[in-house]
Amino acid sequence: MNKVKTTSEKSLTNNSRIVGLLAQLEKINSESLLVEADTARYVTSKILHLAQSQEKTRKEMTAKGSPAIEVILSTLENTRDLQTTLNILNILIELVSVGGGRKASALVSKGGTQILLQLLLSASKDSPPNEELMVQLHSLLAKIGPKDKKFGVKARISGTLNISLNLVKQNLQNHRLILPCLQVLRVYSTNSVNAVSLGKNGVVELMFKIIGPFSKKNTGLMKVALDTLAALLKSKTNARRAVDRGYVHVLLTSYVDWHRHDSRHRHMLIRKGILQCIKSVTNIKLGRKAFIDANGMKILYNTSQDCLAVRTLDPLVNTSSLIMRKCFPKNRLPLPTIKSVFHFQLPVIPISGPVAQLYSLPPEVDDVVDESDDNDDIETESEIENENEADKDHLFKNDDIETDINKLKPRQELGRPVEELKMYEQFFPELSDNFKDYDLVSKEPKPFPSDANLSGPIVVPTAGEEQSVEADHSVKGITVKESNHLQAEECNKRPAFLDLPKRDRNKDNILQQQSDKKKLLSSCQCLNYEIVKGLDRITLQNTSKNEQYYKTGCVMKKESKTSLTSLTCNKPCQHVSSCGSVLFEGRSAQLGKLCFTGVDPEEEDDSSSHSSGEQVILEVPDILPLHDPDLYIEIVKNTKSVPEYSEVAYPDYFGHIPPPFKEPILERPYGVQRTKISQDIERLIHQNDIIDRVMYDLDNPSYSVPEDGEILKFNSKFESGNLRKVIQIRKNEYDLILNSDINSNHYHQWFYFEVSGMRPGIGYRFNIINCEKSNSQFNYGMQPLMYSVQEALNSRPWWTRVGTDICYYKNHFARSSIAAGGQKGKSYYTITFTVNFPHKDDVCYFAYHYPYTYSTLRMHLQKLESLHNPQQIYFRQDTLCETLSGNSCPLVTITAMPESNYYEHICQFRNRPYIFLSARVHPGETNASWVMKGTLEYLMSNNPTAQSLRESYIFKIVPMLNPDGVINGNHRCSLSGEDLNRQWQNPNPDLHPTIYHAKGLLQYLAAIKRLPLVYCDYHGHSRKKNVFMYGCSIKETVWHTNVSAASCDLIEDLGYRTLPKILSHIAPTFSMSSCSFVVEKSKESTARVVVWREIGVQRSYTMESTLCGCDQGKYKGLQIGTRELEEMGAKFCVGLLRLKRLTSPLEFNLPSSLLDFENELIESSCKVTSPTTYVLDEDEPRFLEEVDYSAESNDEQDIELADNAGDYEPSVQEEGLSDSEMTRTHLP
């Protein structure tokens, strides 16, 4: 019978043959296998032959819908014949080996794991077990085990764990058998419970019997044994067992032996396997101590230095670096307290939160470090964690997305009684002013009646509720354009006028400020510069002139006066002199030290500094229309800081213009981070080489710096300055410690300090050692900024990007649990950069980003006020409120003056939609102020498009929401120690006055039914490139949840996408793909979400500007500068004008040459065919250099409170996850 079948098979195709064989096998399965044992053996051998020889057969057997695997597994489960079993195991090995992971997963899904484990259990009962069967069975289990997530659990339940272990114990010399057994043990050990169970049965000791010194024999077995051991040692129990038996020393000795003998580097995988075992065992404190005691730091340091020359050995260097960083003893920051060195007593102490905790700490508590700064609870290896990182982050992120539709739906709530909101009437005089006493552009025959009450489409809203008696009287003969749709509903209402005094603009072009009774600028010259010249040149005023000026090196002087400041030196200038005369009386202030020995010979001719005599003349060229050094000094007098600063930083005094050259994103040299880490490790190994001398210390004001011509001098005692302590480490290397935000114990990122006493041609390394974010754009091409006084005196007054060998990495200084949100063992991070100074004894300033002080804002606003045309521009500057320390918070109103006081013109004036803008709620995000500067300058310019914009909108602008934080050099918080952008839900008028009253302005507009068309809060983003926006959308938020909410049933106006889409077309720095419109729970108290949800503004945005640069558009590959930031502010205005055309085309007619814009723009922005992708990964891809920036094997995932974030919405946190974790929006 069998022979007949065989003959017929020969005439069939291969496909038919395998189908026929499988059919036979299936038939045998249904019959008695004892009777058909020979047939089953024959059929399986034929299938094996076909599978081994023909790829087509293998594909057919594993094709979708093929019953082959089920039939074969069924036979395996039922057969008792050894040869049939071996045949089937070989068939499965063949299929899995060729098909890869997908085929192994298919085998797992069909129940293969349980069948194989059961076969292993039954085969182990034979005495002795069949070696060939055990080899094949373990080989197959080793291949499918990694593809079965429950493999370890299944093995433990079936009781097969110790079978493989006992086989190894009994057959140590049989390498063919124990190799697949070790491979299976390696898979078992990835389950922590299994690892502990195996450890109790002596598996750790067994592995060390296999692992030995250098040998060319059995290297494959050695590699598998090391991998198995590394997995086993991730268990704390096994790691302790290894430490107790002295195996750390054994591993180090073995590593050195392999390092010495493997001269041709053919066994790098074994060397790395030993390092992986050391890495696992040092996850526990005992392991780290044993490593240090065994001189592990020096051993790995020396061996890794030997490997640096060979690029292929980088994995060994990187793993060694990780181990050394982890085992480097955790140090406390050399500070008496992590709290800010400055103290400000709050008027009200919060009941709960971090500020309340700080105030409740007993004075004797050491908050710098914990008693135990080691985190012993980590058993998982970083690589294993990284495999699941995306899943974990995705779940975490989804948890943060708001899923409650009812909470997502905007609900307009005033939140305060209407009577209370009447206090904000004073900030809206434009809604009641009849402009009777103003010198307007034209006089119409019918002036607006100041005492008449009118009805019709005019809206003159106030918070008052009483209606005029004659409100129903109509005015005949007047036609009014159709009102904007936003105001249509209130056209028949007319509250009473506000009775406010009028100013005579003919006599006084400078508007009175409520906070400043005294005029700070009495003799200000009104320069007839156009602030911005045309849409094509909105990057910077008079850019070409500036560049020409700097190329020729000449000095422009004011026509009316030359701004000269004489500084009398105490010593002749050929020596280092400390200059800084008192510049004004009363509350004194002075310029910082100016130290130099004269100018370089080649710069003598065009320099404005002279070294003859004992006087140094600083000539400040007048090329910045909005900058006036004398005015700046006057304003500084009235700026109140907690430390009571009396010095002025030279960059703030001289001013800044963008340099006339491009500054590319820095290319990171390969291996720079591990080189820096290696130098840090040298501190421990060669401690005698470390100077460890304090050079600057705000905690000890009486500390005197030693007189030494070779050392640098530091200072940060000026507005916005931040540098707490400096320690000299080596001759030209300094550790810098930043100050915490006032009334806080963290938020270290912003820095701004002065350096002097340098020598040219020397590379000075600066390490800022107490940063908190887990990653930074300093790892991706961003450079810090430097301002040279010598360069400024040589007609180059600009901040430039400087520094080489820049990187950002975790260091060996630990945060206390108080600073780390209750977690112990959290490390700080280091920003390191090296600078070569161009001039001897220069005075240079370093900053995280382009500084923009509160006094600079006040100066710019006053200059804008004095330069504007009052007949054309309505400009008003008010004080919204006073801050905690008594500084005024400016509120600016900008629009176009009405054409006349004729009724129709006043009607159009008052019915203009509002645009509400704010910025600088986070002091360290100085780029937000530069964007705001661009917006303000554009709005005040003579550009015809700017005039059209002013005629279209009324702008209410709070350019600096956190003046106190800016003044005192904070990074994130106000003086209350809280992130003001997390206080919008329930701002406290005593602790958060600027937020309370800014929200009050918006609530007032809501009360009088004049909701802003757009609200935008300007921010900076520290971990992403380009400029982008966050908005609010119910539908897009629901898309990103796993809730089965029928998002398609939601009806939502997609107008929130229009402005970002417009900006992506017109602003070169703007990236639509980085925008997100998802609402997260952690952001529910931010301005963006509260203004959208409570006030009811649909177009409520946060606009984020990069601190680094751009990776798209015409600025791709360049670091961002103030020119590009100001351009973005101006382009935002242009975008608003185009938005006006799209939202109200009937009443807005402009020349097409100014506003040609594709009609399909709004259509493309509204046809969202698919949800945005919620990407929860690092903002930037990791470098090939695998010494990771954000995590080590003994650290938990860096997930921290959202409040730690730099406002990169929708990141869950800034100092934890990856600061961005951005939602990405893809448009068709």
Three-state secondary structure readout of 665-709: CCCCCCCHHHHHHHHHHHHHHCHHHCCCEEEEECCCCCCCCCCCC
Instruction: Please say if the pLDDT value at position 6 is more than 90.
Output: no
Q: Of the listed 647, 719, 978, 1104, which one is catalytic?
A: 1104
Instruction: Please say if the pLDDT value at position 1190 is more than 60.
Output: no
> How many CB atoms within 10 Å of residue 1153?
6
- Average pLDDT, stretch 889-899? 95
- Average pLDDT, stretch 967-981? 96
- Average pLDDT, stretch 953-982? 96
Give the integer Cα–Cα distance in Å for 1005 and 1017: 17
pLDDT (tens digit per residue) in 691-721? 999 999 999 988 887 777 789 999 999 999 9
> How many CB atoms within 10 Å of residue 473?
11
Give the integer Cα–Cα distance in Å for 561 and 1154: 39
Q: Find out whether 637 and 647 touch, Cβ atoms under 8 Å.
A: no
Quick one: tokens of 866? 């004095």
- Average pLDDT, stretch 1000-1027? 95
Residue that is written with structure tokens 């206390």 in the block:
816
Nearest to 622 by CA among 630, 612, 611: 630
1104 part of the active site: yes
Instruction: Please say if the pLDDT value at position 910 is more than 50.
Output: yes
What pLDDT shows up at residue 60? 80
What pLDDT shows up at residue 238? 94
DSSP assigned state of 1091: I
Burial of 405 (C-beta count, 10 Å sphere; 0-12/13-18/19+): middle
Residue that is written with structure tokens 């349980």 in the block:
114
pLDDT band at 528 (very low <50, low <70, confident <90, very high): very low
Residue that is written with structure tokens 């974990």 in the block:
392
- Average pLDDT, stretch 1102-1119? 96
- Residue 831's alpha-carbon distances to 645, 653, 766, 769, 807, in angstroms, are 27, 28, 8, 7, 6
pLDDT (tens digit per residue) in 716-749? 999 999 999 999 999 999 999 999 999 998 888 9
Q: Which residues lie below 8 Å from residue 49, measured CB to CB, with a gap of 6+?
A: none
Instruction: Identify residue 871 by its one-letter amino acid code.
Output: Q
More confident residue, 278 or 126: 278
Instruction: Please say if the pLDDT value at position 1107 is more than 90.
Output: yes
Over pLDDT 90: what percentage of the chain?
48
- Average pLDDT, stretch 1087-1113? 95
What pLDDT shows up at residue 392? 38
Average pLDDT in the chain: 77
Burial of 77 (C-beta count, 10 Å sphere; 0-12/13-18/19+): middle
More confident residue, 3 or 668: 668
Phi, psi of 905 (to 5 degrees): -70, -40
pLDDT (tens digit per residue) in 366-391? 778 765 444 444 433 333 333 333 33
Q: Find out whether 1034 and 405 touch, Cβ atoms under 8 Å.
A: yes
Instruction: Please say if the pLDDT value at position 835 is more than 90.
Output: yes
pLDDT (tens digit per residue) in 301-323? 999 999 988 889 999 999 999 99
Instruction: Please say if the pLDDT value at position 1162 is more than 50.
Output: no
Q: Find out whether 684 and 678 touch, Cβ atoms under 8 Å.
A: no
Instruction: Please say if the pLDDT value at position 624 is more than 90.
Output: no
What pLDDT shows up at residue 403? 59
- Average pLDDT, stretch 515-519? 37
Instruction: Identify residue 376 by its one-letter amino acid code.
Output: D
- Average pLDDT, stretch 981-1000? 95
Instruction: Please say if the pLDDT value at position 1044 is more than 60.
Output: no
Residue that is written with structure tokens 């708001």 in the block:
402
More confident residue, 707 or 326: 326
Burial of 365 (C-beta count, 10 Å sphere; 0-12/13-18/19+): exposed
Lowest mean pLDDT among 405-414, 489-498, 727-736: 489-498
Instruction: Please say if the pLDDT value at position 577 is more than 60.
Output: no
What's the first-to-final CA gap in the chain, in angstroms? 66
DSSP string, 911-941: TSPEEEEEE-SSTT-THHHHHHHHHHHHHTS
What is the dihedral angle through the alpha carbons of 461, 462, 467, 468, rounded to the nearest 10 degrees?
Answer: -80
What pLDDT shows up at residue 370? 62
Lowest mean pLDDT among 622-631, 902-911, 933-942: 622-631
pLDDT (tens digit per residue) in 223-241? 999 999 999 999 999 999 9
Instruction: Identify residue 116 by its one-letter amino acid code.
Output: L
What is the dihedral angle through the alpha carbons of 1040, 1041, 1047, 1051, rounded to the nearest 10 degrees?
Answer: -60
Instruction: Please say if the pLDDT value at position 593 is more than 60.
Output: no
Quick one: tokens of 956? 């209410």
Q: Is the peptide bond before 1145 cis (omega within 30 degrees of 0)?
A: no
DSSP-assigned beta bridge partners for residue 1021: 1106
Lowest mean pLDDT among 419-423, 832-836, 846-850: 419-423
Burial of 899 (C-beta count, 10 Å sphere; 0-12/13-18/19+): middle
pLDDT (tens digit per residue) in 253-304? 999 999 999 988 999 999 999 999 999 999 999 999 999 999 999 999 999 9
Q: For CA atoms 134, 139, 145, 147, give the dihedral sign.
A: negative
Give the integer Cα–Cα distance in Å for 1138 and 1133: 9
What pLDDT shows up at residue 821? 67
Give the integer Cα–Cα distance in Å for 66 and 58: 11
What pLDDT shows up at residue 1138? 93
- Average pLDDT, stretch 1125-1144? 92
Instruction: Please say if the pLDDT value at position 907 is more than 60.
Output: yes
Q: Find out whether 891 and 909 touch, Cβ atoms under 8 Å.
A: no
Instruction: Please say if the pLDDT value at position 182 is more than 80.
Output: yes
- Average pLDDT, stretch 882-894? 97
More confident residue, 315 or 582: 315
- Average pLDDT, stretch 520-534? 31
**Max avg pLDDT among 120-129, 432-441, 881-890:** 881-890
Cα 52 to the center of its chain, rounded Å: 54
Helix axis angle, 296-307 relative to 285-293, nearest 10°?
A: 70
What pLDDT shows up at residue 455? 32
What pLDDT shows up at residue 473? 37
Residue 1148 backbone zone (phi > 0: left; psi -120 to 50: alpha; other: beta): beta
- Beta strands (DSSP E) in 184-284 are none
Strand (E) or helix (H) holding 847: strand 843-847
DSSP string, 112-180: HHHHHHHHHHHHTTSSSPPHHHHHHHHHHHHHHGGG-TTHHHHHHHHT-HHHHHHHHHHTTT-HHHHHH
Quick one: tokens of 859? 């100066």
> How many CB atoms within 10 Å of residue 122?
10
Cα 651 to the center of its chain, rounded Å: 27
